[in-house]
Structure 1
């Protein structure tokens, strides 16, 4: 897939060691309402990095795609992540931007029934 300009997965692992450890960055982004996962990366075990504070984070696009976000929204999400991780902006301030950003994405897309709100529960029969 890479030769065609895409990966074969909806997940990307990012080395964040220049900005902190994956566990701390995971927690900081969660305060900003951006959910990622800490992730061990090659070299972590050799460097004695603990799985709670590894050198990477894992980003997935399944949830944001389900909400109907596309390439232009990915650029905005990247900017929001950068504000927390690289620019060290206040996570609560960024959380307000995240909340505003999500206002247009409240319905599920690419599902069997997209009449429900994105976070409404489906009643089973």
Structure 2
């Protein structure tokens, strides 16, 4: 499986609310960096589970994906109701040995 396929499968697992499958694509010590914070992926998944209670239809759509070596860049849209864009993000996923080891996320406003 290519790094791009791994990241796409990760998105599919999150959208299916299959945290075990999502975490199977993430390295043990993986971290997510966003808005000046660094979180272990276990914490990210716990936050996502809490968010699903408020937004059970939430989906992430990978609008564009580019891969170069061990990095996969994704422009994605989050939709809390499953249809209407809530926000857009740019995420740079770093992979090693077929696992996501680090993700850097920048938030951007939705397109008009």
Q: Same fold (TM over 0.5)?
A: no
More helix by share: 1
TM-score scaled by length of structure 1: 0.29
More strand by share: 2
TM-score scaled by length of structure 2: 0.31
